[in-house]
Chain A
Amino acid sequence: MALLEVTGITKRFGGLVAVNDLNLSLDKGQILGLIGPNGAGKTTAFNMISGFYKPDEGDITFEGKNITGLRPDQVCKLGLTRTFQVVKPFPQLSVRDNVMVGAYNRTNDKKVARQKAEEIIEFLGMQEMEGMTASSLSVAYRKRLEVAKALATDPKIILLDEAMAGLRPIETDHMIDLVRQVSKQGIALLLVEHVMRVIMSLAERIVVIHHGEKIAEGKPQEIVHDKEVIDAYLGEVEIDVKG
């Protein structure tokens, strides 16, 4: 049984069908990529899985439990944490406090939470800025903070929403490295990405969405040669076949 099983979820906004009958599954420790042109419905799917939207149809099962319609904090408590495409730090709190909020997900003890926060901050190489307010961080480090907060919640799955957007190539390399290390810890990852290089180098399998529907699924090399995928992306993004 898969760790995360998404079956036939659909979301409508008035007359617009943002996501239509989407299926996907994620196994423990796996990295699944979710790609598609802008407006394809990726973030909407994320919002449904993480509890921010209620699907109009369909089910979401996590570790065998039906989590459809649960609140975001309930989903997080069960072990599924998401990040946001446009990062959402707690601007006036320090980096440490930002991460501690995540760490408190599993404990009520201040010392334990702080310990965990410091470990994670170290893992992300942000010890120097522990006391700085989140608003004073650069974009690259805010993205790291976003990951740090998610990690602190001790999740089994992290939904990473465009964690690399807006990063310079060298920053992207660092992030890719980071994501690999997170995966090594046994955390399953569902990545939404636009940067092909990232998806190709990280994802074991890829699901392609277009107009809210799945149009392809498979290994990265298969996807890249899929005609429908290429059509959907024509003019959008240059697919670097070399990965």
Chain B
Amino acid sequence: MTAEILKKTSSGPVRNWFRGVLLDWDRTQMLICFLLVGLLALAPLFVHSTYYLGILILATIYAFIGISWNIVAGFTGQLLIAQIIFLAIGSYTTIVLFNYYLVSPWVGLLIAGLVAGLCGIVVAFITLRYGLKVDYFALFTIALMVALRTLFLKWEFVGGAVGMWFRLTDPSFDKMIFATKAPYLYIALGLVVIGLLVQYRIYRSKMGKYFLAIREDEDAAAALGVNTSLYKMLAVVISAAMAGVGGGFYVMYVTFIEPPQVFNLGLNVEIVMAGPIIGGLGSLAGPIVGALLNKPFAEIMRGALVEGRSGSSLIVYGSFLILTVMFMPRGVTGVLHTIYCWIIKRFTSDEPGDDQNGAA
């Protein structure tokens, strides 16, 4: 079908490339994502306030974590609500390795991913072994989060209730300590790019199709040869590992961690859930679009309604979540998709692109 379009219009390699991309919604989404990444990369040139740069950095980190959640909740439809557990484990791993053993955070991030991934295996195994479905799975993850919070509160090695401060020294590349904000933004963007590519590869591969099949109808998937338990576990582990890496970077950026801060449902909603949901759960562009819409907006609201009037960001997040579920179940990306289909129909005589999988 793409070939037909190519024949119809004037040729030229750039044009052909564009058409190859624009007629495929998945590729178009990736284009949007990379445009956003590109804009963010240019941001330090235009944004000089450390406050606003900080917001963008957090939004970028949130985008990465959002991608990790998108894989488990968006692709396979598993209700792993308290994803923040894996972020927290990653954070603690990284900061402990650095503070106690002087392990470079670059390595620490990888180990954090590994540790979080292992925890993911345990969680997935328990859930599958004991058949925790839907609501029960969601509640289980919440119970785990609360239990872990209590345990970490009492665990002196990781600072207990006092938490851990990152051992700040002079700026140094291998300690991931920088004098300005910009390097943090670029590392975060690097993570996001890796995340986007991983997400895309999974989505287009057999694993991705199996993930989606499990979400759509688990029994039907099993009847077609999908080992649903295996793939559900894979999704959790990949997700957890990613969240662990993200958590490792998160703690290096905020330089501090304590149990009530990080084993926290509010933070879970803010970092893990709000972005992908508002952006479009199950879509490729959802996590990054959502994170970039959410965080800055919430921060601006918080700033605009200052005078100690807190709660405004909660009002924003809460309202966004409600409005999204009620009116935009496919999120902003879903709306973009509708516009996209309309444009394609208008300018070509064919049905729009391949792999019209749509968002969750």
Contacts and interface: CB of A to CB of B under 8 A. Distances in A.
Contacts of A113: 206
B209 A81 contact: no
A140 B231 CA distance: 31
A110 B225 contact: no
Contact of B356 (A50, A89, A133, A149): A133
A96 B354 CA distance: 9
Contacts of A71: 222, 227
Contacts of A10: none
Given A113-B206, A131-B356, A97 B212 contact: yes
Most buried by A among B213, B225, B356: B225
Contacts of A90: 212-213, 216-217, 220-221
A88 B227 contact: no
Contacts of B224: 73, 76, 81, 101-102, 105, 149-150, 152-153
A84 interface: yes
Interface in A35-77: 50-52, 71-74, 76-77
B355 interface: yes
B358 interface: yes
Interface string A89-111: 11111101100111011001010
A12 B210 CA distance: 32
Task: Report the contact-size class of chain B (Cβ under 8 Å from the partner).
Answer: 20 to 34
B220 A92 contact: no
Contacts of A149: 220, 224
A82 interface: yes
A74 B216 CA distance: 20
A105 B225 contact: yes
Contacts of A50: 223
Interface string B225-252: 1111000000000000000000000000
Contact of A104 (B216, B220, B225): B225
A110 B207 CA distance: 10
B223 A81 contact: yes
A108 B226 CA distance: 12
A133 B358 contact: yes
Contacts of A77: 225
Contacts of B345: none
A175 to B, nearest CB: 19
A104 B209 contact: yes
Nearest to A113: B206
A153 B210 CA distance: 13
B216 A91 contact: yes
Contact of B209 (A72, A76, A100, A132): A100
B355 A92 contact: no
Contacts of A132: 351, 356
B310 interface: no
Contacts of A133: 356, 358
A240 to B, nearest CB: 32
B209 A101 contact: yes
Interface string B173-202: 000000000000000000000000000000
Nearest to A83: B223
A133 B226 CA distance: 21
A104 B213 CA distance: 12
Nearest to B227: A73
11 contacts: A52-B219, A52-B222, A72-B219, A97-B209, A97-B355, A97-B357, A101-B226, A102-B225, A110-B205, A113-B206, A153-B224
